[in-house]
Structure 1
Amino acid sequence: MDNLSHNTSRGGEKVVSADVSNANSGEKTLNVLVIRGSFASLGGAERELLTVLRAWGERWQVSVATLGLTEGAMELAQELDVKWICPQKPIELPTDSISEIRGRASKFATKAWKKLAAQNNSLIAAINNADAIHISVCRGSLEILPLIPKNKPIHYHCLEPPRWLYEDVLHKEVDGKPKRPMWLTNFIFSKQRRIDRKLVRDLLARHGSAISGNSHHIQENLGKFYNIEVDPNLANGEPAQRDNRGRCKGASVLMHVVDISDWPLEPDDKEINAQLSPKPDRPYVVTVGRIGWVKGTWETLHSLSGTGLGLAQVGGGSTEDKQKITAEAKRIGVPIWTMPRLSQAALRKLVRGAVAMVSHAHGEPFGLTPIEAMAIGIPALFVDEGGFHWTMKDANSGLLIERAPLRAEAYDAITKDWHQAYQMAQNQEIRKEWADAGRPHVEGKFTLNVQADALERLLKDCIHHAEEQ
């Protein structure tokens, strides 16, 4: 099988081709077009999509259209059995202050999709030939809608409504102080919010369309921000109700997953030989995510005060935020090691050697990190909020703990709960008990095939209701 076997240039458009196998013999293979505005940031959402495409490419005939396929994303996509449709040069949407106020990025993205379609017919052909279209939330994703026929089935995986538009956590400094007055933030993004809501309304006005969050927490937010129905009892991949014209009335849930093969129980040679820089030189916990208030880095650091444990932070951050968190760590006497993004082998090595995986992230949409920790038997200690609650609530592995008040002292009751959790995570009997329960929890709910099955149910529901009209 030739995976990403060749690149061809056609009128300024880059097309990467691959053979496709039929995983479901005896049944027509679905032709699925995946849309994502960009892979440029290559954060958790992009990496998760690149991971699940492994299973999708084996099960369906898959094409992926994007305005921004960077070299880093291409490196991770080398083993994928999919066809890529994208510009020769990744397109960057405007993010300057004036563009934010005027909502220029949306218009820019709409024009970019039309330009890509005009340069060659591969995009339009992929749209027309697709049995269903799967749109992954991102700046510039929904702006492709004008190119898609009204009767084409569409599933919109809204991993999270754009958080910078609807929540304040991205508009705070690393220590929780607002970057600017909140009234000003609300004003700056008011036009973008209107544009985003209109795009979602236009999507859901189509029969055979659907919208899903990546957790029941995000499902709830979809209802709140877009004024649609929410049934919290819907299972993963269970379609929401529709009206008599086949239009979706509410939000579904399509959970994130991991490739369990990326998290083996025993270290392989790549992991053993992986180099960590800086390398922790005393017991530590790991937190994953770019340094910032939204990821709870400051609060995780403070939760360690007086425990004798250090903090290994993975995911980089601005120079200013690194300086702030390092200075605060020194002030409260907590060792800290700040690291950039790591290779999979290096990340496994760091996590496997940790006392625990920890996060105080604010309103985390889903939270892959507790799943990754449980997969290799490392204690997962997470704030009982957002997607973390739904990921871990019935795992019988690790702990969900309340958030301590900002700048809480060591004698605070909730801070004591965190200190007790860190002690439990160092108890070998408890670690084994959690490890024995953790991996089966992951294997039963959060694997590639589990998600592919769930998405297929949602796509077939979209197809069914589009065909009825």
Structure 2
Amino acid sequence: MAGTKKAGDNAVRVLIVRGSFASLGGAERELLQLIRATSERWNLGVASLDFTEDASALLEGVRPKMHLPSQPFIWPTGALSEVTASSSRRAQKAWEHVDIPWEDYDAVHLSVGKGTLEILPQIPPHLPVHYHCLEPPRWLYEDVLHRRVDGTPKRPLWLTRTLFTVQRRRDRAYVKRLLQRPKASLSGNSLWIQQRIEAIYGLPSDDGKTNGQPPKRDSNGRPLEATHVMHVVEWKHWPKRASKEEKSALQSIPKLPGQYIVTVGQVSFVKGTWETVKSLEKTGLALVQVGGGSDEDKAAIVAEGKRLDVEVLCMPRLSQTALCALIRGARAMVSHARLEPFGLTPIEAMAIGIPALMVDEGGFQCTMSPVDSGRLIARNDMGEWKAAYLDAKDPELRKKWADNGRPYVEKNFTLDVQIKALERMFTE
């Protein structure tokens, strides 16, 4: 398994960079998972402008070399900072004062997020740089993050587009700078995002690219195309059978409805929570949501559930053990997320062994199309959603889907797969 190979004199020396770990969402947690897994395989360093105590706790005792500002970095806030891109400008200045011994590293792995690309001017030109663009920043290029949970705009969309004009220019300028570097590579986290990189940044996308396949390069070693390196799960955290600890963890969470589906992700328009509630109308199933959200949005989704006679339960933050218990008891894992970049939730459902019922869009198509372990369903086809909820109750079909899903995840979406893909990016 990943991490069993001990780092030594010949181990690749990698600096992992992320501007901020403060939000501790899926991207940050996935990166911390990678750091834990590679701590004994790579000679590893981590650079960040904002590495929180909560992030440190999730390293579970792993202690890579840390390169941080001498004083806590304060991110600018407010409309003026958005208009002037002051967060980006200050981040670029802050990186100038972070002490990084570049001679100690063979490659740099950049994780998309605010303040990450701003380190580029500091990286020596001879070092390979891999930019893992999990998605071109959606708040800059799409409107899905600028809508309330019911889809209404938070402000006029023309105003939103205007507010982010300077930030879009800076983002594209940094990516252009990256692509001029020899030994650079730019990856999405799915074939879908590889295609989005072409649409946003103009870097060609070859749909025949496989996971972790390095890009074609010009005579100077610069990338001629986008690639993708997919997300993975930490296999030990998704057991096939419930442990005693998992059964005990059920006692620590709110009382669950008799029959329910689970959706994972913040209550929001982009995660499609509103449509998930609507799809459950007249099914007798409740919705259990995990992933937080504003009090206002959670109240709105509970109220919409009451209007449709669908029970909605928004969970507090759960331990990994409690999350497994919750998912294992569900009829299915469900998501109506809009053009989801990768689609980790069906992978987690397959690992546990429950049906994955996902909207037929974006990264879900990439992760689910190769395996019969659930359904991809058109967003507004309520008849198909209701039929899928009934099918997911069938014991024989559930067993078939579970038997197909778990081996598929183990083969394609574990840490060993991701680490080997990244090592190819660093060295080829």
SS in 2 for 1:358: strand
One of 381, 384, 403 as aligned partner of 1:436: 403
| AA partner of residue 46 (structure 2) | V
In structure 2, the partner of 1:217 is 192
Q: 1:71 offset after TM fit, Å? A: 1.7
In structure 1, the partner of 2:162 is 187
Contact 2:188 2:227 in 1 (8 A): yes
Equivalent residues in 2 for 1:63-212, closer than 5 Å: 63-80=45-62, 82-87=64-69, 90-117=72-99, 123=100, 125=101, 127-212=102-187
**2: distance between equivalents of 1:149 and 1:225?**
26
Is the counterpart of residue 415 in structure 1 residue 382 in structure 2?
yes
In structure 2, the partner of 1:408 is none
SS in 2 for 1:250: coil
Deviations 1:399-418 (A, max 9, x none): 111111xxxxxxxxx10100
How well do the aligned residues superpose, as a CA RMSD in angstroms? Answer: 1.5
Task: Quickly say closer, same or farther: Cα 1:307–1:92, change in 2 above 3 A.
Answer: farther
| AA partner of residue 459 (structure 1) | F
Deviations 1:237-286 (A, max 9, x none): 10111111111111111000001110001122331211443221221000
What count of residue pairs does the alignment treat as equivalent? 425
**1: distance between equivalents of 2:200 and 2:347?**
28
Contact 2:7 2:40 in 1 (8 A): no
**2: distance between equivalents of 1:220 and 1:92?**
34
One of 339, 355, 362 as aligned partner of 1:386: 362
Q: 1:22 offset after TM fit, Å? A: 4.8
Contact 1:359 1:381 in 2 (8 A): yes
One of 234, 244, 248 as aligned partner of 1:259: 234
In structure 2, the partner of 1:17 is none
| AA partner of residue 169 (structure 1) | V
Deviations 1:94-147 (A, max 9, x none): 231100011111111112212323xxxxx2x1x221110001111000111111
In structure 1, the partner of 2:224 is 249
SS in 1 for 2:39: helix
| AA partner of residue 77 (structure 2) | T
SS in 2 for 1:287: strand
| AA partner of residue 334 (structure 1) | V
Is the counterpart of residue 331 in structure 1 residue 298 in structure 2?
no
SS in 2 for 1:156: strand
One of 318, 321, 329 as aligned partner of 2:294: 318
Q: 1:89 offset after TM fit, Å? A: 6.0
In structure 2, the partner of 1:12 is none
SS in 2 for 1:128: helix
Contact 2:183 2:223 in 1 (8 A): yes
| AA partner of residue 50 (structure 2) | G
Deviations 1:133-185 (A, max 9, x none): 00111100011111111121101101111110011111111011111221111
Equivalent residues in 2 for 1:330-349, closer than 5 Å: 330-349=306-325
TM-score by length of 2: 0.96
SS in 1 for 2:418: helix
Is the counterpart of residue 426 in structure 1 residue 402 in structure 2?
no
| AA partner of residue 32 (structure 2) | L
**Structure 1 gap segments, 5+ residues each:** 1-19, 118-122, 405-413, 462-469
| AA partner of residue 40 (structure 1) | A
Task: Quickly say closer, same or farther: Cα 1:355–1:112, change in 2 above 3 A.
Answer: same
Contact 2:213 2:425 in 1 (8 A): yes
SS in 2 for 1:116: coil
In structure 2, the partner of 1:38 is 20
**2: distance between equivalents of 1:295 and 1:288?**
9
SS in 1 for 2:68: strand
| AA partner of residue 112 (structure 1) | A
In structure 2, the partner of 1:377 is 353
SS in 2 for 1:312: strand
**2: distance between equivalents of 1:90 and 1:435?**
47
In structure 2, the partner of 1:238 is 213
Deviation larger for 143-152 or 442-451: 143-152
One of 46, 52, 62 as aligned partner of 2:34: 52
Contact 1:69 1:90 in 2 (8 A): no
| AA partner of residue 439 (structure 1) | R
**Structure 2 gap segments, 5+ residues each:** none
TM-score by length of 1: 0.88
